[in-house]
Each structure stands twice: as C-alpha cells, then as structure tokens.
Structure 1
Amino acid sequence: MAAVQWDPFDAIERDVRDMVADPRWADVPAATQAQAMAARLLLTPDGGCWLFGSYARWYRHDKVEGEWHLSAPPADARARAVARPIHPAPPVPLHLLPCAADFAFDRGSTQAFVGPDVPPHITERIRALLDAHQGPRAEFPFVTGPLRAVFYADVPASVAAVWGTVMWCAYAPAFDGNEVLLSMFGEFLARPLPGDDWVRWLPPMPLNALVALYADLLRGEARGSASRLAALVGDTARVLLDDSRFRPRAAALLAMVEPLRDQPWPDHPDQDAAAIRAAWLARCPADLRGAILVETSPGEHFRHSLYDMVRALSFVCAHGADPRAVAASLLAADVQAVAPGVAARLYPWLDAQLRQTYYVTLAEPQHPLRGCWPRAGEPPEALRPPDRASAAALLGAGYATGLAWCRLTGTMPPPRGFPTSAATVSCLIHERDDPLPGVPGTSSEWIRHT
C-alpha cells in the first residue's frame, strides 16, 4: 500500500480550525492571535507565503508590495507537500484573523443550474407559494421598482417578490433552458429571458430590487401588505435552503426579513429604500457575512468568486496544469471578449502571481496560456471536467466570476453568457436532467412564445 503523503496545507487548516473553535480564542488579545497565526504560515518554493485566515480561506503575501491577497492555495499534491513554515514571518494583519463565525459559514455549492436541475420538491413548494399569492384575490398592488421592467404591468408585487428572492439567492443564475423553476413564471414575464434553448444566462439580482418592493408598500401606507411581502420573501428563502446552490444567500436573506414577520416596525421609521437596505444588511449575522459580500464589497466578492473558480479547476492538475494559471487565463479570455477596456481595473484585486499571468495572457496573442481559451464554443480537451458535478461547478463558478467582475467594473453582462462559461455548457448538454428543448410539451415551450 502506498504511503499517504502528508499535506502541510491540510494540517494547518485543521490546526487553525481547532484553535479558533476553542472558546478561549475570542478572549485572546488580537496581537497575541496574530502571533499565533504567524507561527502557522506556510512558504512554498515559488516564494509564496500562505495564511489560512478570515472567511476560512487562504491568503497569499506579496513580499514586494507587502500586501495580502485572497488566493486559492496550490491544488497539486506535490506542490503542497513541499510547503514549510516560514521564518521570519511577515506580520499578520488584524483584519485577516479568523473567528469562530468564519468556520460556521456554510458555503453551499458553486454549481450552476445546468446538468442537475432544481429538485422537484423545491419547485413544487415554490409553485405553491406562487399560486397562493397571485391572482385577483391577492392582497398586493402591482409590481414596482427595478423589477417592473421584468414583468407585465398587471403582475402583483408578490409574484415579483418570489422571483426576486429566487434570483438573489442563486449563487450563479445560469439555468437550464427547460428549468421548471423558470417556466412557472412564464405567463408573468414581459420579455424573453436572455440566453438560448440550452441555457438562460440571467443577470444578477441586486438586493435593491427586493427592498424597493417592500419600501414602496411602506411609503404607500400599505404596511400590512409590506409585512406580508416580507413574510413571503422569508417563506421563499426557507424553501430554497434545501438546495446548496441557494442555501448561503437564502439563509442570509431569511435572517434579514424574518424579524419583520412578527415585529414589522423596525423598518418603518426608515422608509427610504437605501436606509431599509442598510437595515436589512445590518441584521445579517456574522456567520453569514460571506453570503452578502456581493452587496457589501464588490471587489472582495470578485476575489471570492475567482477563488471558487480556481478550486473548480482543480481537475486540471491531472494534466500537469496549474489551476491558478488556468483561472487567470480564462478570466483574460472573458474580459478580452466582453470588455477589454476594463482589463486593467482588475489588477488591484489580483495577487502578484495571478496578476502577471492575467497580464501576459492578455498582452501576448501567442502566449501558451491562450491555449486554454475556447475554440468554436468548445473548451480544450484538458479543460473538459471529468464528470457532471465538476462541470456544473466550473460552469457556476465561472459565471459567478464573470458577473462579479462586471459588477466591479460597471460592465453589462453578455446576454449569451461569457465565452468560457458558454464553452463549459457543451460538457453538460448530454447530461441534463430534463427533456431536450424543442420537444412539444416540455417546459421550454413557454419561453419562445412569451
């Protein structure tokens, strides 16, 4: 039997988790915590210095700039095995010190909604909520705010609230064109959804859109309807908890709106939508702060999404490739195709190694890493994930990363998806859970006749 190779990165993770889980950790002075973390830094042969810190994630130190960047660690077992403690250690910033809440956060799944569909028991419960809160007897006015452009004018705010909750909670809103969770809204949508029969590439849903529905009811003195709307958002989020692709944000949204069910007055003094949004975010507990980075820090959200993308690419190690370099190359491919003018605006959010890889891939048309770029809508053979689960994870992480850098730079996401995510779809077309598009009676029919 082959000997099990010792992994310093895994060992440090276990050690830090055990240390932070000790109830006494919270009472240790920050300076002492920093010393304890400095003793647990790792050095890799490429000069990288690694810290397992806040958000229960790894950070890489740039010795030239003296800064720490969120950065997924090496995935190759051999590269990990040769990591060693570092002496002398660079100072550990206090804001990167981990706390117990960091390790309580459930990150859910990075999978998109292509390949594995939303489970039927979830779609049935969402449909029941939708049926119960729409129609002539619904006690809600028509939809207002940013969601008004999505629906017909006579659609009640309750329908928009369910849709907005589903979309805000989705880690990566790339859905199978036949997804039942989308088709049940077909009669209400004022325009076809972006994408094609295979994938609906939906834009990100800002929290502002949900807050606007609620705030407009408060301003209109319809406080009973406002409370019922908040309860409906909470009920929808509770259903979505059963799918790991929704769970982190669904838990955060539930924490924001659940207090309004029995005590509707906390938001009434602040009927301004911006103030209400701030109040909702403030109610999100510390162990769910990672779920709302999309709202509180677009730059950090981009870093975390790229971190997820690197992890989703870990399978390329089998081909001798570095997932970090491949992720930087795929990021360059999307930026070059969608908005080359914003390329430089992402530099400050990348660690030195990723930044250099991203730069040379953009700058040198003949660079070998351009071999990672899709050709004719297909990924290179080495970038085809080995199974459906990993393909869905790469599709989701790649799409989430694209949406994140678009939000960070003010770029409109492409309606047909980003090139690298769209190429990954070809790895999933024949592994979907549902009938093929175009077959009469399937759930894709509604979208072509909306």
Structure 2
Amino acid sequence: MHWDGFTTMERDVRAVVGDPRWTLLPPVTRAHTLAQRALVTPDGARWLFGAHARWYRLDRVDGRWHLSAPPAHPAVRAAARPSPPGVAIPPVLIPTGPDFAYDRGSTQGFVGPDVPHEITERLRALLLAHRGLRREDFPLDGSVYQQVFARDVASTVAAVWGTIMWCAYAPAFDGNEVMLSMFGEFLARPLPGDDWVRWLPMGSLDALVGLYAERMRSGAGEAGLRLAGLMAETATVLRADPRFRPRADALIAMAEPLLGSPWLDQHAMPSGAVRQAWLARCPPHLVPATLPEWAPGEHFRHTLYDLVEALGYTAARGMDPRAVAASLLAADVAGVCGVSEPAWAAPGSSYTAQVVTALYPWMDDELRQALYLALAEPAHPLRGCWPAGGELPPGLIPPDRETAAALLGSAYATGLAWCALTGTPAPSEGFAVCSAVVKCLIHQRDDPRPQEAADRRRPDLDESGSWLFETSNSDISSLPPL
C-alpha cells in the first residue's frame, strides 16, 4: 500500500484526540503524544497536525510553528517520515477536543452555485413579515446600516441583511442572485461590483449587535429581543447552505439564548460590551467561526490555508499549491497597493512594503520567500501565476465548476482577510485574482431560465430595479462593513 505520511498521521491524531480520555490527560502527556506524530519532509521542514484539526509548519527562521497547509505533491507526502525526538510542542497547538469537532462548511463562492431556491424563499418570507414594521419602533439612526438603506427602512430589514453578510464565508455574490435582488427596494445606493459579481465587504458583528443593543438601551426591550430572534431565525434558514453554516451556527448560539433569558446582556449594556458578551456565549467548538472578530491575523492564516487547499488541483500539473497561493496573494497585493520598483522591499519604502511587512509574521518562511520573490522580481517564474489580461494563465484554470467556485471563495476571503489585517480598504471592483476566476464561471451560471424566473417571481417584493446593478464607484466607495 502506498505510504502517505500526512494522511497517516492526520488519521492517527484524529483517532487519539477523538478518544474521550484525551481531555483527561495532563498537558505534558498530550504534548508528548503529538510530538511522537510529527513529520519531517526531505527538505528538513517539520510538520504537525494539531489544534483546529489543521497542519502546522515549524519555521526555521523564527522558530515558531505556523498554521500552514501541507504539501500536496504525492512524492513529498510519500517521503515524509516521523520526526526525530526533541520537537517542542507549544500549548496553543495542542488540540482541546472541541476544536476538532468544528464544521468548516464550504469555501465556495456564491458565483456559479447560487443560493438554493428553498433558502431564498424562506428569506423572502422573513422580509415580508418584517418589512412593514414601524421605523419609530425599529430605527436605524446611529447605525452603519443608515448609510446602506433608505430612510424609511426599519432595522428589521437591516437585521436580515446583516445576518446574511456576517454568516457568508466570502460575500461575493452572482450579480443576479435572487437573495440580493429582494433587497433592491430597500437599499440607498447600488451594491459594489460589476456586471457579473457584487463584491461586498465582510459582515460586521459590531453593526449587527448594535441594532439589538440600541433598542435594549433605549428601554424598548421587546423590540430588541425581536431583532435578536430575527437574527437567529435568519441564521437558521441560512445554515442549510454549507457556505453559511459555520458562522450561522455561531450566531444562533450567541443570539438564541436571549429569547429564553432576556436579561443575559444587562450587565454589558452600561459599558457597551454587548459584543463581547455575545462572543463569550459562543461554545468552544464554534469559536473558530468568530476569528475575524477578535484575531484578524489568525483569520488571515486560516483563509490562506483554505486558498492553498483550493489550489490542490495544481499539484497534478507539476506546481506547488503553496507557492501558487503566495504568488496569487502577491498579485492581489500588487493590484491593490501597487509595486514600487526596485526599492519596495526596503521596510517603509512603499505602501506595498508596509502591507507585506504586516503579513510576514503570519506566514511561514517558505510562503514569505515566495511572496517576496513574486513581488520583487518581475522575471521570476512565480509571476507566471498572475492574471494577464484579466484572465488566469492556462495552467491555473480550474478543472471544473466546483473547483473554480472554491478558488473564488477562498481567494476573496483571503483578500478581505489581509485587507482587514493591514487596514487596507478592499477594492470595490474586486481583487484581480477573483475577477479572473469569475471568468471561469460566468458561462456556467445558475441563473434560472427566463420561464423559471417568471414562474418564481413574486409581486410582494420588487426585484426589478435595475439601479441595484448599476455600479457607481463614487457611490459605494464609502460603503461601511455590512
């Protein structure tokens, strides 16, 4: 039987951590157990399958373990061998047990595979039931959603929208997505994007919780609890789609307890720590879904890991998915920040250098080097991975629709993550890599045929406003986190 060290050790660690006795072992025993299952590859790199059921690579430069997707090439995986004794395992890398139970859902984007009709119809019903409530009872004043929605829109509509945006793994949606179209009559401005895709910013838990907290602090407790219940109900609908499920489950766990215990957040109201109170209610096995809220660096690491996995198909074509991912990251950084040649690499010499310097601590030495080379040397082979003429190079074109959708979702999530980590505004027209991937999907879209669209159309919500899809960058440049 063919030996694959990474598959073998991952299976072994999962079995050990899945044993009920794992949590009863003293920390030193658990660390020793993991150390016995570390791997070393022919290049001398050491690997460990640890916390969050993911792989880590020991950085030979800084001596730290970095979250890092494992090599995909069969020859490298087959040559991996158990690491010699003496590997120190930091406590943060030791699985707790619940972290291995986390359901990561799907990294696919919402272009190509549209949101299923059953979900959009249930969301439509929620909007119909809550759109007509009095603005006086559910105001948007003081909320970031005041810039997104028209003046006469109640915060119940914003609660449904905000839940969708927060639960989405990567909020890049097909331009004709029914779920977005049903909000057309409520929006105050066009959504960012182009003819094919709405490139939306990552959802904000602060903004979402703020709708509820404002009502509670104003003495309108019943309205506040209704908003929290609506968020939980919307998340319950969304979780049927694996692209929403992880964060939907986390939001349900944070909001739903209020319906039975409305006093839960009273202690946090005076200090404005309601968001922290919600995050504290998130159970251990769902905490990874909230990483963007409290650990942007770790969130970037995980999205980059997803991107490497989405590029796994390139290994069969003789490429290294890890190096390709670093090159595509470089292409997006250069596209957003520009490249100042030849002195960009000197710390502080350009905005690009500042961004890259901020990303370096969250990458292992191999990925850092690939990122540096792709940015600093125009003639380097890694530049061959960059989109040209708005299209992916032939060697990177995904083999099928599902792979292309996963690449789109992970690339967009990675783009939003590094922008959030470095304080860089995300481009309203999308990242270069994502835009190129879309071209692999636009001829395989899920839009219903004309007759199906006519059959499904409902007169209760206006979805015909073409202004929704008429993008004006001047209108949306200040669109806040949703």
Q: TM-score, normalised by structure 2?
A: 0.90
124, 141, 144: which one aligns with 1:146 = 144
- State the one-letter code of the partner of 2:192: P
Identity %: 60
Alignment-derived partner of residue 210 in structure 1: 208
353, 368, 376: which one aligns with 2:381 = 368
341, 365, 373: which one aligns with 1:352 = 365
Give the secondary structure class of the aligned counterpart of 1:116.
coil
- State the one-letter code of the partner of 1:275: A
Give the secondary structure class of the aligned counterpart of 1:245.
coil
Q: Distance in 2 between matches of 1:218 and 1:104?
A: 34
Question: Does the Cα contact within 8 Å between 1:174 and 1:399 map onto a contact in 2?
Answer: yes
400, 408, 426: which one aligns with 2:421 = 408
Give the secondary structure class of the aligned counterpart of 1:58.
strand
226, 244, 253: which one aligns with 1:255 = 253
Q: Distance in 1 between matches of 2:271 and 2:299?
A: 23
Give the secondary structure class of the aligned counterpart of 1:60.
strand
Alignment-derived partner of residue 52 in structure 2: 55
Cα offset, 1:62, TM superposition: 1.3
Alignment-derived partner of residue 172 in structure 1: 170
Give the secondary structure class of the aligned counterpart of 1:311.
helix
Q: Distance in 2 between matches of 1:381 and 1:274?
A: 52
Q: TM-score, normalised by structure 1?
A: 0.96
- State the one-letter code of the partner of 1:160: A
1:331 counterpart = 2:344: no
1:205-284 pair list within 5 angstroms: 205-272=203-270, 274-284=272-282
Give the secondary structure class of the aligned counterpart of 2:273.
helix
Given the superposition, is the C-alpha separation of residues 125 and 84 from structure 1 closer, same or farther in structure 2, using an over 3 Å criterion? same
Question: Does the Cα contact within 8 Å between 1:312 and 1:394 map onto a contact in 2?
Answer: yes
Question: Hey, which bits of structure 1, 4+ residues long, moved more than 4 A?
Answer: 136-139, 440-445
Q: Distance in 1 between matches of 2:465 and 2:221?
A: 39
Q: Distance in 1 between matches of 2:470 and 2:393?
A: 36
Question: Does the Cα contact within 8 Å between 2:135 and 2:153 map onto a contact in 1?
Answer: no
1:427 counterpart = 2:440: yes
- State the one-letter code of the partner of 1:72: A
Question: Does the Cα contact within 8 Å between 1:59 and 1:69 map onto a contact in 2?
Answer: yes
Q: Distance in 1 between matches of 2:389 and 2:85?
A: 50
Question: Does the Cα contact within 8 Å between 1:293 and 1:301 map onto a contact in 2?
Answer: yes
Given the superposition, is the C-alpha separation of residues 377 and 272 from structure 1 closer, same or farther in structure 2, using an over 3 Å criterion? farther
- State the one-letter code of the partner of 1:236: T
Given the superposition, is the C-alpha separation of residues 47 and 444 from structure 1 closer, same or farther in structure 2, using an over 3 Å criterion? farther
Q: Which whole-Å deviations, capped at 9, do the CAs of 1:195-222 have from their partners, x for residues lacking one?
A: 0120000011110010111111012111
Given the superposition, is the C-alpha separation of residues 306 and 253 from structure 1 closer, same or farther in structure 2, using an over 3 Å criterion? same
Q: Distance in 1 between matches of 2:469 and 2:401?
A: 27
Cα offset, 1:99, TM superposition: 2.2
Alignment-derived partner of residue 105 in structure 1: 102
1:382 counterpart = 2:399: no
Cα offset, 1:141, TM superposition: 1.8
Question: Does the Cα contact within 8 Å between 2:191 and 2:469 map onto a contact in 1?
Answer: no
Q: Distance in 1 between matches of 2:270 and 2:199?
A: 31
Cα offset, 1:103, TM superposition: 1.6
Q: Distance in 2 between matches of 1:168 and 1:272?
A: 25
Q: Distance in 2 between matches of 1:218 and 1:43?
A: 55
1:158 counterpart = 2:149: no
Alignment-derived partner of residue 296 in structure 1: 294
Cα offset, 1:343, TM superposition: 2.1
Give the secondary structure class of the aligned counterpart of 1:269.
helix
Larger mean Cα displacement after TM superposition, 165-174 or 44-53: 44-53
1:31-46 pair list within 5 angstroms: 31-46=28-43
Question: Does the Cα contact within 8 Å between 2:415 and 2:431 map onto a contact in 1?
Answer: yes
62, 69, 72: which one aligns with 2:69 = 72
Cα offset, 1:140, TM superposition: 3.7
Question: Does the Cα contact within 8 Å between 1:240 and 1:247 map onto a contact in 2?
Answer: yes
Cα offset, 1:49, TM superposition: 0.4
Q: Which whole-Å deviations, capped at 9, do the CAs of 1:22-64 have from their partners, x for residues lacking one?
A: 1111011101111110000000112210000000000000133
Alignment-derived partner of residue 9 in structure 1: 6
Question: Does the Cα contact within 8 Å between 1:161 and 1:213 map onto a contact in 2?
Answer: yes
Where does structure 2 lack aligned partners over 5 or more consecutive residues?
339-350, 458-462, 472-482
Where does structure 1 lack aligned partners over 5 or more consecutive residues?
none
Q: Distance in 1 between matches of 2:260 and 2:132?
A: 25
Question: Does the Cα contact within 8 Å between 2:166 and 2:204 map onto a contact in 1?
Answer: yes
Q: Distance in 2 between matches of 1:146 and 1:432?
A: 32
Q: Distance in 1 between matches of 2:99 and 2:184?
A: 39
Given the superposition, is the C-alpha separation of residues 327 and 273 from structure 1 closer, same or farther in structure 2, using an over 3 Å criterion? farther
Q: CA RMSD in A?
A: 1.8
Q: Distance in 2 between matches of 1:435 and 1:334?
A: 32
Cα offset, 1:65, TM superposition: 1.8
Larger mean Cα displacement after TM superposition, 254-263 or 87-96: 87-96
Q: Distance in 1 between matches of 2:158 and 2:140?
A: 6
Q: Distance in 2 between matches of 1:65 and 1:375?
A: 35
Question: Does the Cα contact within 8 Å between 1:41 and 1:89 map onto a contact in 2?
Answer: no
Alignment-derived partner of residue 394 in structure 1: 407
Q: Distance in 2 between matches of 1:38 and 1:383?
A: 36
Q: Distance in 1 between matches of 2:198 and 2:445?
A: 14
Cα offset, 1:303, TM superposition: 0.2
Cα offset, 1:89, TM superposition: 3.4
118, 121, 134: which one aligns with 1:121 = 118
Cα offset, 1:269, TM superposition: 2.8
- State the one-letter code of the partner of 2:414: T
Q: Which whole-Å deviations, capped at 9, do the CAs of 1:48-104 have from their partners, x for residues lacking one?
A: 100000000000001332110000001111110110011133201111001221221
- State the one-letter code of the partner of 2:426: P
- State the one-letter code of the partner of 1:78: A
